[in-house]
Amino acid sequence: MKRHSFRCFPFPSLSSATLFLMLATMPLQAQLPTAELHSLSPPAVLAGTTTEVNLAGVNLDDLSALHFSDSRIKAEPVILPESEFRKGPIHSGNLFKITVPADLPEGIVQVRAQGYFGLTTSRPLYIVGKDHALLADAGAIHHEIETAPELPLEALAHGDTDASKIDYWKFAAKKGQRLLIHCQSERIDSRADATLTVVDSSGRELERNRDAIGRDPMIDFTAPADGTYYVGVFDFLYNGGDTYSYLLTISARPWIDAVFPPAGQQGQVMEATLLGRNLPGGSPGEGLSIDGKPLETLPVRITVPAGPDAPRFNSSRPTHALLPTFSFREANSNSIDLGIAEAPVIPVENDATIPTVTPPCEIAARFDADGDSDEFRFLAKKGVTYWVEIMGDRLSGKIDPYLIAEKVTKAADGAETFAKVREADDSSGKGGTTFDAASRDTAISFAADQDGEYRISVINQFASGGPDQHYRLAIHEARPDFQLLAVLERPYLEANQVYSSAPLLRQGGTAPLKILVQREDGFAEPVTIKAEGLPAGVTCPPVTVAGKDEVAWLVFQAAPDAATWAGDIKVSGTAKLAEAEITRPARSGGVAWSTADRTKDRLRSRLDLGIPLAVSAAEKAPVAFELANPAPLSVEMGAKLEIPVKITARNGVKGPLVISPDGL
């Protein structure tokens, strides 16, 4: 064991500081392998059946188990029988039999595999309802319409796009029949930027779509005549392979595009209007449309729960998925998320009747036409600090809001003048270049210096409009709070490298976990972050994030004799709010696909279900660090900080080591 001193530069701007250090050999740590799960084949399984699934990825050595976000799903390795080349039955490697209960509802569950290198990154697995048909990719016969297999109505097909090819599926339709053709690729973590096309028997294109729901396409097709038609699926850049999977269905079921208002007050019954297609009892009389396709409307009453639904798999940007929501569906329609508001919701559908409101409240509105903008007024009290937050990008992802707050002054003759108080654009987030914690939404705050009216202007910088481009505008006094987000990534050699990873501890080693603290409404109190549910032989000291800091690191350490283990742990933060103590659980997230160069590959972040941790007893950590003195570190202004560090090198590791502090 060697003992070294680590010297830092002087701190000219600090009178004193208590520092948190995450010590690691970054080059060495980055070269240690972790497991990545790239694809499941098939990407969908039928409820009530047992399906053989093949796993593909990186460092999938000695896979032994699968972990599902729904514990009712079971899996066991496929065992190959004894043969002339095998002395006895052995595990096939990457093949598992997955058994899904018959009563499991349709939807997505999350999967991780466990092997020699701990837990893999996660992938979604689509569960198909037991009463539906599931069809598999039939290979090269899809590439010509003459040999395209049939896709029955309401069945689900799965496949992979092929490079420079189009996958065709055949379907029949009656004249005037309105069918919705759905393709999921981004929503199941596929690399494919899927595009849909519909052609007739002569090959003439009738419809084409890309990026209707995020980057996934949807075609609203009304058959011009009785006949046979063909839907084609391909990657926008004509790429293909086993990581370019898709799910395809042709449906006459109801589809909800939007609900207005998009949120209701918690615990109340909201009067709402569904906007969609093939709605049972829907009225086409509103004249609304999306991309030229008419929408129907249907009035409904919706009971808003007191709290949000439990987290579900969500491929949206993390800031979108973190909004408190509940799921709603009408009859056998798709499910749509609706927001839960803490204050009364005021729906505004006609700009000419916009009232002056009194906080706390939430305004629900939308940009009806291209170039539309809205103005709202509220009554403020002198000396009170107000927060104005807009949620638009986080609802549909189709608008880029800009906020302007102005004080309204009225002259004796009634003439009004406006003085700008605040304006704001996007929220940048604290995820850095490796994790997207940003949003196009924003918030502003200001203290009113008079009793009277203030005007809030809402501008869509995309200059677009339509019935699905709605937003929520919350106006209230400060409600300080915080959220925590654990970023599942491993250290990297170069600034442009981004690798998603489930934390893996080797015996005697450490693993860092980055925690983002999202402070709300000016919350500036210290937050103490801790990990719970750790296995025997693993420790993790709590970390306190002081003041307005928004990034921290938890460091897990495995004992030299720690046993193999894999599972989910819990991370939470505790802080004082007024006289009360509040605790908030952490969610986790990472990038969907790792990349060696984020400037060349699209980087997409999403949330995960659970915070994974694995311990490997098969390997010793090649290098271990610890502070010679675990007491808190402090330094006076203008002084240098010397940090004694103990280094233990194993497995013949020699040569210079680079130690990098974090959080200075």
Give first-to-last CA distance, the chain, whole Å: 26
Residue 531 has pLDDT above 50, yes or no: yes
Residue 609 has pLDDT above 90, yes or no: yes
Residue type, 621: A
Contact 530/583 with Cβ under 8 angstroms? no
Cα separation, 567 vs 614, whole angstroms:
7
Say what the pLDDT of residue 636 is.
85
Average pLDDT over residues 210-236: 97
Contact 216/186 with Cβ under 8 angstroms? yes
Q: Which residues pair with 196 in a beta bridge?
A: 209, 233
Per the structure block, which two tokens stand in for 336? 């749509």
Torsion of CA 30, 34, 437, 11, to 10 degrees: -30
Which CATH architecture best describes the domain 483-621? Sandwich (2.60)
Peptide bond into 261 cis (omega under 30): yes
Fold for 345-479, please state it.
Answer: Jelly Rolls (2.60.120)
Per the structure block, which two tokens stand in for 92? 């096939």
**What are the tens digits of pLDDT across the range 489-515?**
987 767 788 999 999 999 999 999 999
Cα separation, 337 vs 339, whole angstroms:
7
199-212: string of b/e by CB count within 10 Å (b at 16+)?
bbeeeeeebebeeb
DSSP state of 163: T
Provide the pairing of β-strand 178-184 with 218-222: antiparallel
**What are the tens digits of pLDDT across the range 46-62?**
999 999 999 999 999 99
Say what the pLDDT of residue 662 is.
65
Closest CA to 177 of 227, 248, 212: 227
Q: C-alpha angle with apex 396: 392 to 400, nearest 5 degrees?
A: 45
Residue 285 has pLDDT above 60, yes or no: yes
Instruction: Provide the H-helix boundaries in 278-389.
Output: 318-321
Residue 81 burial (10 A CB sphere; 0-12, 13-18, 19+): exposed
What pTM, to 2 d.p., does this model score?
A: 0.91
Question: At 146, is the secondary structure helix, strand, or coil?
Answer: helix
**What are the tens digits of pLDDT across the range 544-574?**
999 889 999 999 999 999 999 999 999 999 9
Say what the pLDDT of residue 1 is.
47
Residue 215: count other Cβ atoms within 10 Å of its Cβ. Answer: 19
Say what the pLDDT of residue 22 is.
46
**What are the tens digits of pLDDT across the range 405-414?**
999 999 999 8
663: confidence class by pLDDT, cuts 50, 70, 90: low
How far CA 460 is from CA of 27, 187, 291, 323, 426, in Å, comes to: 45, 26, 18, 20, 12
* DSSP element (H, E) containing 633: strand 633-636
Say what the pLDDT of residue 40 is.
98
* DSSP element (H, E) containing 276: strand 269-277
**What are the tens digits of pLDDT across the range 136-182?**
999 999 999 999 999 999 999 999 999 999 999 999 999 999 999 99
Contact 238/164 with Cβ under 8 angstroms? yes
476: confidence class by pLDDT, cuts 50, 70, 90: very high
Q: Which residues pair with 54 in a beta bridge?
A: 41, 95
- Out of 108-112, 206-210, 249-253, 578-582, which region has the weakest mean confidence (pLDDT)? 578-582
Average pLDDT over residues 251-280: 98
Say what the pLDDT of residue 287 is.
87
Which CATH architecture best describes the domain 36-128? Sandwich (2.60)
**What are the tens digits of pLDDT across the range 90-147?**
888 899 999 999 999 999 999 999 999 999 999 999 999 998 999 999 999 999 999 9
Peptide bond into 42 cis (omega under 30): yes
Rg (CA), the chain: 28
Q: What are the counts of helices (DSSP H) followed by strands (DSSP E) for the chain?
A: 3, 52
Residue 614 burial (10 A CB sphere; 0-12, 13-18, 19+): buried
Cα separation, 228 vs 208, whole angstroms:
17
447: confidence class by pLDDT, cuts 50, 70, 90: very high
Higher pLDDT, 27 or 536: 536
289: confidence class by pLDDT, cuts 50, 70, 90: very high
Cα separation, 295 vs 372, whole angstroms:
20
Q: Give every strand in the sheet of 452-460, ordered side by side.
A: 356-357, 373-380, 452-460, 401-410, 416-424
Cα separation, 336 vs 316, whole angstroms:
13
Question: At 483, is the secondary structure helix, strand, or coil?
Answer: strand
Do the two domains 36-128 and 134-251 of this chain adopt the same fold?
no
Contact 73/114 with Cβ under 8 angstroms? no
Domain boundaries, the chain: 36-128, 134-251, 345-479, 483-621
Distance of CA 498 to the CA centre of its chain: 17
Phi, psi of 498 (to 5 degrees): -140, 120
Cα separation, 372 vs 383, whole angstroms:
33
Per the structure block, which two tokens stand in for 473? 């505008």
Closest CA to 470 of 358, 315, 338: 338
Say what the pLDDT of residue 8 is.
44
Which CATH architecture best describes the domain 134-251? Sandwich (2.60)
31: confidence class by pLDDT, cuts 50, 70, 90: low
The distance between the two most distant Cα atoms of the chain, rounded to a whole number of Å, is 101
Cα separation, 327 vs 181, whole angstroms:
22
Average pLDDT over residues 77-86: 83
Say what the pLDDT of residue 74 is.
98
Closest CA to 132 of 112, 151, 155: 155
Say what the pLDDT of residue 19 is.
43
Question: At 399, is the secondary structure helix, strand, or coil?
Answer: coil
Tell me what the pLDDT averaged over the chain comes to.
91
Distance of CA 445 to the CA centre of its chain: 27
Phi, psi of 448 (to 5 degrees): -70, 130
434: confidence class by pLDDT, cuts 50, 70, 90: confident
Q: What is the DSSP string of 434-453?
A: TS---BS--EEEEE-SSSEE
Higher pLDDT, 633 or 274: 274
Q: Which residues pair with 301 in a beta bridge?
A: 271
430: confidence class by pLDDT, cuts 50, 70, 90: confident
